[in-house]
Every structure is written in structure tokens, then in C-alpha cells.
């Protein structure tokens, strides 16, 4: 049994039934990656994020999330 990108990161299960799935693992891992990128720049409001930069950071976060999922499945 591996980690799937669309698996819920923090599901709420009651009586054996999925009540709330929330974010997927891929979404959660990508959010953590982009949070780290923003924190590394040590700014409360990151004015360094322009349209192209924001897009490249978002795509990099998704690539990191996919790489983590792949590594977990090895």
C-alpha cells in the first residue's frame, strides 16, 4: 500500500465512514513546500512574488510534493 497523491492528508472518519477528506496529500505537501519558500525569504508580506515568480514557486512546490510522494512509495 503506497501513498497516493489524491489520498486525503487528514481524513475525519466516524464509524468507519469518511466524513471529511479535506486536502489531498499532494495539496498538503505542496502547501508545506511553498510555506517553506516564503519563510526562507523572511518576509511577512512577500513583495518578491510577482506573477511569473509566484507561478514558478507554485509549480516548484507541486514538483516537490510529487517527488516526496514518489520517494515515499519506494
Q: Residue 64: CB partners within 8 Å, gap ≥ 6?
A: 29, 30, 33
- 25 domain residue, yes or no: yes
What is the tens place of the pLDDT at every residue in 30-69?
999 988 887 776 555 556 556 667 788 889 999 999 999 9
Number of domains in the chain: 1
**Model pTM score:** 0.74
What are the residue ranges of helices labelled H in the chain?
25-40, 51-72
The full length of the chain comes to 74
Q: Please state the φ and ψ torsions of residue 23, each to the nearest 5 degrees.
A: -70, 150
- 6 domain residue, yes or no: no
Q: How many angstroms separate the CA atoms of 53 and 34, rounded?
A: 12
- 45 domain residue, yes or no: yes
- 29 domain residue, yes or no: yes
- 64 domain residue, yes or no: yes
Provide the domain limits for residue 64: 12-72
Amino acid at each position: 500500500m503506497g501513498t497516493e497523491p489524491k489520498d486525503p492528508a487528514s481524513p475525519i472518519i466516524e464509524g468507519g465512514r469518511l466524513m471529511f477528506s479535506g486536502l489531498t496529500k499532494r495539496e498538503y505537501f505542496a502547501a508545506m513546500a511553498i510555506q517553506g519558500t516564503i519563510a526562507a525569504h523572511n518576509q511577512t508580506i512577500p513583495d518578491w512574488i510577482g506573477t511569473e515568480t509566484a507561478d514558478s514557486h507554485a509549480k516548484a512546490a507541486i514538483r516537490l510534493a510529487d517527488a516526496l510522494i514518489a520517494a515515499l512509495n519506494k
